[in-house]
Amino acid sequence: MKIEIIGAGSLGLLLAGKLIRSGAGVRLWCRSGEQCAALAEAGLAISHIDGREPVFIPGSEIEAVPISEFPRLYPESPGDWLVLTVKQGVLHGTLPELLGPLRESEVNVLCLQNGWGHMELLQKLLPAASLYAAVTTEGARRESPVRVVHAGAGQTSIGLWGKGETVRNQAAIRMADTLRSAGFSVLLSNEVKAMIFRKLAINAVINPLTAIWRIPNGELLSTELRVRMMRELYEETAAVYEACGIAYEDSLWNDILEVCRATSGNHSSMLADVLSSRETEIRWINGSLVALAEQAGVDVTAHQWVIRMVEGMFVKER
Ligand code: PAF
């Protein structure tokens, strides 16, 4: 099986390295030619914070290609799966044009984005493809273009999007097995929307607050005021879900607290973006809740505030 991983950030590098080590065929599409050259020269190093042996992939075993070459190179030797590990901003910004040649293709696509909005976009761009949404709690931190830290082993759930069919088809089972052979814990789920909305709520509470206060996830629980602010965001989220008929578990609030404990030393992806002066996914996380709230007439003042706070950190050139 040949897997095309689009996006060489923390998760893309982690998946690529572990899949290559397990013997899977991988082509990694990077944003820059410099990263491809660095990977070819230095190889890819994965370290683990839980003391497991580091993984090193020599440059000679890595096929890394600049994403700008995708429209030319991909049709010459298409893979069996596209795995999208780019952020929502890239997915909505530059990817639509690059994926143009795949409009009629029946390719399998696995999407690992946070937030809401990407699956609808991909459905429009790739109407013939089989789209799978994945929600993962794997913790990964990119230390350089050629080094990634596996900051916490998690769970990845995969669901088939939009076809009303069970995810237990041959392609998905094979993909799940391939990921398991690479050391990931994978579940196939028919509750794809529920799993995306659960993760959306977790991200909408944890990510903006950790980014604004610049603290690791666990420190959200360290003062009453912080927990109160989390609770406000959670209650607005629950009100939106109720108004929109989106089902969620009674345990959702406790699940959010548990994610803070389980990932206590980690920087959320939004904090990592802020610290690296990268655009954040706030628009696709809290912004998508505000859009749902507007349709349903629900007040989401706390979400609107955190969006302004996070967006206000960046001065965009006019
Ligand atoms: O976006 C993230 O960082 C993660 O999804 C989570 C679960 C908040 C843990 O850091």
CATH of the domain at 256: 1.10.1040.10
Residue nearest to atom 3 of ligand 1 (CA): 268
Residue with tokens 């505030």: 305
Chain length of the chain = 318
Got the DSSP string for 251-310? THHHHHHHHHHHTTTPPPHHHHHHHTT---STTTTHHHHHHHHHHHT---HHHHHHHHHH
123 & 225 share domain: no
Q: What is the mean pLDDT of residues 65-85?
A: 95
Report the C-alpha gap between 213 and 226 in whole angstroms.
Answer: 10
Q: What is the mean pLDDT of residues 151-176?
A: 88
Q: Is the CB of 217 under 6 A from ligand 1?
A: yes
**Does the pLDDT at position 318 exceed 60?**
no
Q: Is the CB of 210 under 6 A from ligand 1?
A: no
Residue nearest to atom 5 of ligand 1 (CA): 203
Whole-number pLDDT of residue 251: 97
Whole-number pLDDT of residue 317: 55
Residue 290 lies in a domain: yes
Report the C-alpha gap between 148 and 55 in whole angstroms.
Answer: 10
pLDDT tens-digit map of 42-64: 999 999 988 889 999 999 999 99
Q: Is the CB of 263 under 6 A from ligand 1?
A: yes
pLDDT tens-digit map of 216-272: 999 999 999 999 999 999 999 999 999 999 999 999 999 999 999 988 888 999 999
- Residue 94 alpha carbon to ligand 1 centre in Å: 24
Q: Is the CB of 108 under 6 A from ligand 1?
A: no
200 & 173 share domain: no
Nearest of 115, 88, 91, 65 to residue 286 by alpha carbon = 115
Of 161, 189, 217, the domain-final residue: 189
Nearest of 17, 173, 219, 314 to residue 5 by alpha carbon = 17
Whole-number pLDDT of residue 315: 66
Nearest ligand 1 atom to alpha carbon 269: 3
Report the C-alpha gap between 310 and 318 in whole angstroms.
Answer: 18
- Residue 269 alpha carbon to ligand 1 centre in Å: 6
Residue nearest to atom 1 of ligand 1 (CA): 269
Structural domain containing residue 38: 2-189
- Residue 88 alpha carbon to ligand 1 centre in Å: 14
Residue 83 lies in a domain: yes
How confident is residue 136, by pLDDT bands cut at 50, 70 and 90?
very high
How confident is residue 168, by pLDDT bands cut at 50, 70 and 90?
confident
51 & 199 share domain: no
160 & 112 share domain: yes
Q: Is the CB of 113 under 6 A from ligand 1?
A: no
pLDDT tens-digit map of 83-117: 999 999 999 999 999 998 899 999 999 999 999 99
Report the chain's mean pLDDT, rounded to a whole number.
Answer: 94
pLDDT tens-digit map of 153-165: 889 999 999 877 7
Of 167, 189, 211, the domain-final residue: 189
Q: Is the CB of 136 under 6 A from ligand 1?
A: no
Q: Could you give the number of structural domains in the chain?
A: 2
Of 157, 189, 221, the domain-final residue: 189
Q: Is the CB of 209 under 6 A from ligand 1?
A: no
Question: Which residue from 221, 268, 284, 306 has its CB within 8 A of the most atoms of ligand 1, so it is best to mutate?
Answer: 268
Whole-number pLDDT of residue 316: 63
Residue nearest to atom 10 of ligand 1 (CA): 268
Contacts of 285 (CB under 8 A, 6+ apart): 114, 115, 116, 200, 203, 204, 207, 208, 270
pLDDT tens-digit map of 276-311: 999 999 999 999 999 999 999 999 999 999 999 999
Q: What is the mean pLDDT of residues 200-224?
A: 97
For the chain, the first-to-last Cα distance in angstroms comes to 45
Residue 318 lies in a domain: no
Residue nearest to atom 6 of ligand 1 (CA): 268
| Greater pLDDT, 154 or 39 | 39
**Identity at 104, one-letter amino acid code:** E
Q: Is the CB of 269 under 6 A from ligand 1?
A: yes
309 & 173 share domain: no
86 & 153 share domain: yes
- Residue 223 alpha carbon to ligand 1 centre in Å: 20
Nearest ligand 1 atom to alpha carbon 137: 7
Whole-number pLDDT of residue 23: 97
Q: Is the CB of 286 under 6 A from ligand 1?
A: no
208 & 135 share domain: no
